[in-house]
Amino acid sequence: MTHGMVVAPQPEAVEAGCELLMRGGNAVDAAIGCALVQGVVDPLMTGIAGFGSLQAYLPGKKVHACIDFHGRVPAAARPDMWAHLIEGEARDGFGFILKGQVNDAGYQSITVPGSLKAYAEAHGEWGVLPWREVMAPAIAQAEAGWVMRPEVFRFIFQRENMGRVESDERVKMSATGRRLFFDDKGELRRPGSKIKNTDMAATLRQIADQGVDAFYTGDIARKIAADMKKNGALLGYEDLASYKTRRNDPLWGSYRAWKLATNQPPGGGIMLVEMLNILENFDLAALGHNTPEYIRVVCEAMKRATVDKDQHVGDPDFFPVPVDRLTDKAYARAAAEGIKRGEKISVPRLQQKKEAADTTHVSTVDEHGNCVTMTHSLGMPSGVITDGLGFMYNGCMGVFDPRPGRAGSIAPGKSRFSSLCPTIVFDQDRPHIAIGAPGGTQIAMGVLQAILNALDHRMTMAEAVAAPRFSSTSDAIDVANRVPNFVTRELQKQGYQVIRSFYSYTFAAVHGIMIGRDGRLSGGADPSRDGMALAV
């Protein structure tokens, strides 16, 4: 290993991160540079007006920390403001469907963005290259233009949100979106089309020169606030000016001989730890990978963690999250005994609709043993782009519960649970796997299966992220199309509803790096996306 490795769903972003490593940057520089380029070339997945979670392990600096930069509810919001508009809840818990879809797209769907502040904090504390140098690849990419990849086209073109605003309607909401993504005839640009975003380039250049204060309190903040006020948004200038990230120690868990560090609530790490604790009570290797009994056992663990999440996990500043109980080994053993007896957990939902999966991820490792794993997102993209600024805002209000008095209810300043769970698995005291995924509510389920594939089934990282997956975040079992019918028929005989996806690769898009005991790196980029793992 000379410099390190970067893995992410966008080749252009991976290349930018690797070039920063080759210039003497560390894993933090590579991760932030990669993330900034992701916001340019995959602008409906993530960007400087998004949210996320970052974990950094820097042994030489004696640093192991998580930065939580979830979107916060603007001060103008009220807990009951949408209670009368409820039409239903997504089948797997990814948000609520309201009349008029006011929470899902448009100006009122925007929460206070945290991504840019987190990027700058991580770089300022732990990076080694100058800020302008880390931002330079994203600026250059926006100016020169980026090529629409098949996955970007698929996300816009797909018609499967089932009650939500469709993706092509989101990108038509602003003049900038229409110009960037549609041709003069109003047709969606095809894969291979080059898209230049000079407005975003100018915005990024201003941030490179003036720092992130330009975005949160300076000229860019004033432009944002004026646009929000003009269009009836909840977001205002004071929301931007007062935004702070949350700094945490990792949430620790263990699985057999391994330790794992993941993120604290409101992130999804608590679900990952709970599921691994339950599954530790089974000989999964002996059950066989993706056999009917294997799928049943893992799905019941998924359902148990989903019910606990829905009832007990929210923003810990607003809601008491029983972390110790949900991550307790004895609690997990009791759940495992119920699964062994054949018990089926029921996951209540208001209505059955499908989730959306629009997030991205980056993992980096450098020659000094530093690891960064970060998942960041727009939630569902709001569709809003302020004239002249070039970037799209998050649409995270859609995942808050419009019913007052619940773990995920609306409250000013509050963050909502997300399944984001950037994780590092340790072999004794050495990092062994740096992993994470985009994929909405399915993130924790995808990361869980990739970890099981690597640890129990001894797969390589590439094999672990590519193996067929399944999920159960409702009473049904969802399976990828590569799970054989002769397997799912056995589950149906046991009374399970099985829903088969037409996708061969689905249920999150897991990306990870495996570090061998000899220091060798192997990467895996989920085949469902356009990305790659690259060592330099």
Amino acid at 427: D
262 is catalytic: no
CB contact at 8 A, 243 and 402: no
Question: Which residue is listed with tokens 């980026």?
Answer: 146
Question: DSSP code of 442?
Answer: G
Q: What is the rounded distance in angstroms from the CA atom of residue 237 to the CA atom of residue 231?
A: 14
Buried b / exposed e across 138-165, counting CB within 10 Å, b at 16+?
bbebbbebbebbebbbebbeeeebbbbb
CB contact at 8 A, 446 and 438: no
Find the catalytic residue in 176, 245, 306, 359.
359
- Which residues are bridge partners to 8 per DSSP? 532
Q: What is the rounded distance in angstroms from the CA atom of residue 499 to the CA atom of residue 479?
A: 6
Rounded to the nearest angstrom, the gap between the alpha carbon of residue 455 and the centroid of all alpha carbons in its chain is 23
Residue closest to 282 by CA, chosen among 305, 258, 303, 255: 255
Q: DSSP for 332-347, please give it.
A: HHHHHHHHHTT-----
Exposed (0-12), middle (13-18) or buried (19+): which is 406, by Cβ within 10 Å? middle
Question: Which residue is listed with tokens 């949430």?
Answer: 251
Q: What is the rounded distance in angstroms from the CA atom of residue 296 to the CA atom of residue 370?
A: 37
CB contact at 8 A, 522 and 463: no
Pull the structure tokens for residue 174.
């602003």
Pull the structure tokens for residue 464.
């672990």
Element (H, E) at 360: strand 359-366
Residue closest to 5 by CA, chosen among 24, 30, 29: 30
Residue closest to 146 by CA, chosen among 64, 40, 19: 40
Longest dimension (CA), the chain: 63
Exposed (0-12), middle (13-18) or buried (19+): which is 493, by Cβ within 10 Å? exposed
CB contact at 8 A, 361 and 369: no
**Phi, psi of 488, deg, nearest 5:** -70, -25
Question: DSSP code of 327?
Answer: T
Question: Which residue is listed with tokens 């990027």?
Answer: 119
Rounded to the nearest angstrom, the gap between the alpha carbon of residue 138 and the centroid of all alpha carbons in its chain is 20
Question: Rounded to the nearest 10 degrees, how much is the dihedral formed by the CA atoms of 110, 114, 115, 117?
Answer: 140
The catalytic site residues sit at: 359
